[in-house]
Amino acid sequence: MLTIYHAPGTRSMRVIWLCHELGLPIEIETIPFTADFRASPEWRQKSPTGKVPAMQDGALVMFESGAMVDYILDRYGEGRLRPQPGSHADAIYRQWCWFAEATLARPIGDVAQHTRVRAPEDRIPAVADDARQRALAFLQVVDQSLAQTDYLLPEGFTAADIMMGYSLMLGERLGVWDAHLTHLVAYYERLKTRPGFQVAATA
Ligand SMILES: N[C@@H](CCC(=O)N[C@@H](CS)C(=O)NCC(=O)O)C(=O)O
């Protein structure tokens, strides 16, 4: 069985949500999201950078939430929640998966670092402000892409929406985006109605 090392409000939410959508049994091990725990040798064995999440499947131990999503879909997905590899739709699917973490979550993560994660004396307000502006510019791209479709892919809900959903949840919690992004707001409301989102967001 998959074990997901989870801290509420973190990217482990993506992995829990995905497993719920696929109906996969998982064990959730909740870990403290403290600097001390994340620096501990026990945690660094699973996640060498100290970041959350980590995941175990038998002898396999992984860090990086997007890689976990890929692995789970490859091994247990049976073709669900993503397009046929190599297809046009798959290229767009991968584009949004990467965008959600590599492009959008980066400035949102900087906002988190400089408003919540770092010790108060290590926070730089100007970095947080600049990161908010960068995040907003990227969110506008997502908003526009959703003008004609309910999900990132016109074909329907995929794991790219799970990747994006967490980035949006983090952005919402940090007040990075607001109601003027109307397509984005409607999309996020749509994602929130999914039972997998609700389970993962409250785990
Ligand atoms: N790209 C990594 C990012 C992991 C990450 O930044 N995790 C956050 C929580 S969601 C974290 O552990 N932050 C603590 C820190 O950066 O010190 C992934 O997708 O797993």
Helix axes 195-202, 12-22, angle to 10 degrees: 140
Q: Which residues, in sequence order, are CB contacts of 57 under 8 Å at separation 6+?
A: 2, 3, 71, 75
- Is the CB of 70 inside a 6 Å radius of any atom of ligand 1? no
- Is the CB of 66 inside a 6 Å radius of any atom of ligand 1? yes
Between the CA of 51 and the centroid of ligand 1 the distance, in Å, is 5
Indicate the pLDDT class of residue 147, thresholds 50, 70 and 90: very high
- What pLDDT score was predicted for residue 81? 98
- What pLDDT score was predicted for residue 166? 98
Angle at 85 between CA 80 and CA 87, to 5 degrees: 110
Condensed to tens digits (0 to 9), the pLDDT of residues 70-113 reads: 999 999 999 999 999 999 999 999 999 999 999 999 999 999 99
φ, ψ at 80 (rounded to 5°): -85, 155
For ligand 1, atom 11, the nearest C-alpha belongs to 51
Nearest to 69 by CA among 100, 97, 29, 95: 97
- Compute the average pLDDT of residues 163-182: 94
Condensed to tens digits (0 to 9), the pLDDT of residues 27-62 reads: 999 999 999 999 999 999 999 999 999 999 999 999
- Compute the average pLDDT of residues 113-138: 95
Between the CA of 123 and the centroid of ligand 1 the distance, in Å, is 17
Residue with tokens 């908010």: 132
- Compute the average pLDDT of residues 150-167: 97
- Compute the average pLDDT of residues 147-155: 96
Write out the CATH class of domain 88-194.
mainly alpha
- What pLDDT score was predicted for residue 102? 97
Could you confirm whether domain 2-76 is CATH 3.40.30.10? yes
Please identify, by atom number, the ligand 1 atom nearest to the C-alpha of residue 112. 13
Per-domain boundaries in the chain: 2-76, 88-194
Between the CA of 11 and the centroid of ligand 1 the distance, in Å, is 7
φ, ψ at 63 (rounded to 5°): -120, 170
